[in-house]
Amino acid sequence: MAETYKQSFWQDSSDHLDLCVFNGGRESCAPGHTWGPGLRDHYLIHLVLRGAGSYKTGGKEYRLGAGDLFLLRPGQLASYTASQQDPWEYSWVGFNGAFANKLMRSTPFTEQEPVYHSPDPAPLQTALLAIFAAQGSEPQNEAARVGHLYLFLSGLMGQAREADPHGGAGAQYVASAIRYIQYNYSHEVSIDDIAKAVGVSRSHLYRLFMSHVGQSPIDYLTGYRIDEACNLLKNSQLSIAEIAMSVGFFDKFYFSRVFKKAKGVPPSRYLASLEAPSV
């Protein structure tokens, strides 16, 4: 029988705000061992080394085994349970930082698929063990942990690229499209305009947005315009018609309908709704 052990550490603070390792470890779980349902305030990735278990999140349950990885995103309600008959052993790393979200977009995980089966888990396990081995509170220990975390994420990115040669470029297309929206939302811009500026077809742009953002390009554009309209309502003296024009709606009545659908109140009542006491 394999020895049952658990190792982890916590990093309470960090000078490396771009990327910081919060915790890491390895555990051989008891039969039926469960965590959750609960939330984390950071990204948490587990790699199953042997055995089996289940992961539940977003109303779905995933049955996992050796070579599988599963991701908990910050603020995501989830739970995971070791098999009663063949409880799993896994390694994990928890991290966050200003670069974390950008890096995660290039890994195999998506909003719709928080699990991934690695065809070559050995180098990923090596990086996870190195993260834990770099224990200590000295600056060089923290730098080593972050360095090994980059290697772990790089390994995931490489596997994602091999599985989908265009996947890494997909994140860049989405980032370019979002920048285009931010620079041009006040104009009469269409999804065809965005796709042409980015250099992909309209249908491919739609698939990329659904995969990386979780909503269509038109929904993202509309949401961005409405958010900018809210800022103008709160911070300017412009009329409703002027605000509509400023955020790319050239029919104030259509703008009001879209705004009400998004915020639950028409723009004329938006500020009053913010001041109304909650029940």
Same domain, 140 and 177: no
**Using CA atoms, how far apart are residues 248 and 21, in angstroms rounded to an integer?**
42
Instruction: Give the residue from 112, 129, 163 where a domain finishes.
Output: 163
pLDDT of 1 reads 42
* Residue 110 amino acid letter: T
Residues 34 and 120 in one domain: yes
DSSP letters spanning 62-92: EEEETTEEEEE-TT--EEEEE-SSSB-EEEE
CB 220 within 8 A of CB 175: no
Give a yes or no: residue 221 inside a domain.
Answer: yes
Within this chain, do residues 216 and 148 fall inside the same structural domain, yes or no?
no
- Give the whole-angstrom CA distance, residue 272 versus residue 70: 43
- Is residue 100 one of the residues assigned to a domain? yes
Residues 190 and 244 in one domain: yes
The answer to the question of residue 59 being in a domain is yes
Residue 1 lies in a domain: no
| pLDDT of the residue at 279 | 44
Cα angle 77, 39, 80 (rounded to 5 degrees) comes to 65
Please report, for residues 9, 56, 109, the alpha-carbon distance to residue 63 in angstroms, rounded to integers and kept in the order given.
Answer: 27, 9, 16
Same-domain pairing of 185 and 253: yes
* pLDDT recorded at residue 89: 96
What's the CATH number where 246 sits?
1.10.10.60
Write b or e for each residue in 210-225: b if 16 or more Cβ atoms lie within 10 A of its Cβ, otherwise e: bbbbeeebeebbbebb
Of 120, 139, 163, which residue constitutes the final position of a domain?
163
- Residue 139 belongs to a domain: yes
pLDDT of residue 272: 85
Please indicate, yes or no, whether residues 92 and 125 belong to a single structural domain of this protein: yes
In three-state form (DSSP H/G/I as H, E/B as E, the rest C), the secondary structure along 189-228 is: CCHHHHHHHHCCCHHHHHHHHHHHCCCCHHHHHHHHHHHH
174 shares its domain with 55: no
Cis geometry, peptide bond prior to residue 37 (ω within 30 degrees of 0): yes
Q: CA triplet 174, 210, 121: central angle to 5 degrees?
A: 85
Same domain, 191 and 258: yes
Q: Is there a single domain that holds both residue 140 and residue 174?
A: no
Nearest to 69 by CA among 152, 144, 135: 152
Based on the domain organization, do 224 and 256 belong to the same domain? Answer: yes
Looking at residue 85, which CATH number applies to its domain?
2.60.120.280
pLDDT at res. 276 = 61
- C-alpha 23/C-alpha 42 separation (Å) is 10
Closest by CA position to 223, among listed 201, 248, 198, 253: 248
pLDDT at residue 18 in the model: 82
Q: Are residue 99 and residue 226 in the same domain, yes or no?
A: no
Q: Give tens-digit pLDDT for 197-215.
A: 988 899 999 999 998 888 9
Mean pLDDT by 10 residues, the chain (279 residues): 50 62 92 95 96 95 96 95 96 91 83 90 94 87 92 88 60 86 93 92 91 91 94 93 95 95 92 68
Note whether 130 and 250 are same-domain residues.
no
Boundary residue ending a domain (163, 189, 217): 163
Domain total of the chain: 2
Range of the domain at 185: 168-275
What average pLDDT does the structure give for the chain?
Answer: 88
